[in-house]
Structure 1
Amino acid sequence: MSNEEFRAAMSRLAAGVVLVTAVEPPLGAGGPRGEDVGMTATAFLSVSLDPPLVLVSLRNGSRMDDLLAEQPLWAVSVLAESQRHIAGRFAMKGRISDRLLFADIPYTRGEVSGAPLVGGALTVLECRTEQRVEAGDHTLVVGRVLSVGFPSGEGSPLMYFRGRYRHLA
């Protein structure tokens, strides 16, 4: 089996789309808040109800992987179908700075994590890393959910299937 065959097989598994966000730590004690960082993910799932745990898979060496190795607080916004443009923007490789990526996206700051929570998302979660597990070319980050919110409360989820964003039909 080749990498391409495996990728093609996994592309046939529909997945919800989330935006994972965190804030870089300030430079020095009392310094200004660091830059907001975000990435689109489809490898995200609920792990446990008691305690409430979720898991996200991060590519080794990615900016988010490096950040969450030192910053334990992060957030997840479960994107609605109408937020396809947000998913696409944060999934781009070789993109512009994260500060510009967040520029015209409505968000609030999480009370616990300080991370951006996307306005209009189906749900938002603030998490603290409990465990990191190396798994091939990815790191599985297990986070304890510290708070949840429902910015829009309604709508259909954004799905990813066969290499494209899709809607439920």
Structure 2
Amino acid sequence: MARLAAGVVLVTAREAPLTEDGPQGEDAGMTATAFLSVSLDPPLVLVSVRTGSRMDDLLDEQPLWGASLLTESQRHIAGRFAMKGRLSDRLLFEDVPYRRGELTDAPLVRGALATMECRTEQRVPAGDHTLVIGRVLAVELPPAEGGPLAYFKGRYRRLE
């Protein structure tokens, strides 16, 4: 599967949804290369999350999440959120430029090719991963510099 090129997406969520008292809980995020469109009507996407991971546990409790399609200049963000034994979630976001999703309160990376706000519709166990199918609630296509970030043969790459 290392020979299958994939786009790189940052999937993010907040531990608890926005309340009348303001945001609750910490932000969390993970780098994903198994992310795809499932349906246009209704708009559904799928992300594969390692079973038992922090994001798997969080997305089991919190149905609202975001996805940022990263550009080639954002490989440092992808690498940071993909590290094993990584920094605490609070430090991961420290110098990442992002805005809050209006519907999900999830961090959405500024300068990404596209951002989506999603709500989990279904979770499907699949081996050592969980397939999380989300309904796309909102999409933003901001101006972005450069092309998409790809992952191929174990490395982040630019598409030529």
| TM-score in terms of structure 1 length | 0.90
Distance of 2:145 and 2:126 partners within structure 1: 35
More strand as a share of residues: 2
Structure of higher CA gyration radius:
1
1:43-62 Cα deviation digits (max 9, x unpaired) = 00000000000000000000
Distance of 1:100 and 1:62 partners within structure 2: 18
Percent sequence identity over aligned pairs: 77
What letter is aligned with 2:40?
A: L
Distance of 2:74 and 2:22 partners within structure 1: 33
Match of 2:69 among 69, 78, 88: 78
| Alignment-derived partner of residue 59 in structure 1 | 50
Match of 1:148 among 139, 142, 155: 139
- Where in structure 1 are there 5+ consecutive unaligned residues? 1-9
Distance of 1:42 and 1:165 partners within structure 2: 10
| TM-score in terms of structure 2 length | 0.95
| Alignment-derived partner of residue 113 in structure 2 | 122
1:104-143 Cα deviation digits (max 9, x unpaired) = 1110000000000000000000000000000000000000
Aligned residue pairs total: 159
- Where in structure 2 are there 5+ consecutive unaligned residues? none
Match of 2:104 among 113, 116, 140: 113
| 3-state SS of 2:24 partner | coil
Task: Please tell me the root mean square deviation across aligned C-alpha atoms, in Å.
Answer: 1.6
Instruction: Tell me if the contact between 1:119 and 1:152 (Cα under 8 Å) persists in the aligned partners.
Output: no
Distance of 2:112 and 2:106 partners within structure 1: 14
Q: Aligned-pair distance for 1:31?
A: 8.0
Structure 1 residue ranges (4+ consecutive) displaced by more than 3 angstroms after TM superposition: 29-32
What letter is aligned with 1:98?
A: D
Distance of 2:89 and 2:143 partners within structure 1: 24
Distance of 2:136 and 2:158 partners within structure 1: 27
Does residue 92 in structure 1 map to residue 83 in structure 2? yes
Match of 2:9 among 1, 14, 18: 18
Distance of 2:156 and 2:86 partners within structure 1: 19
| 3-state SS of 1:34 partner | strand
Q: Aligned-pair distance for 1:30?
A: 5.2
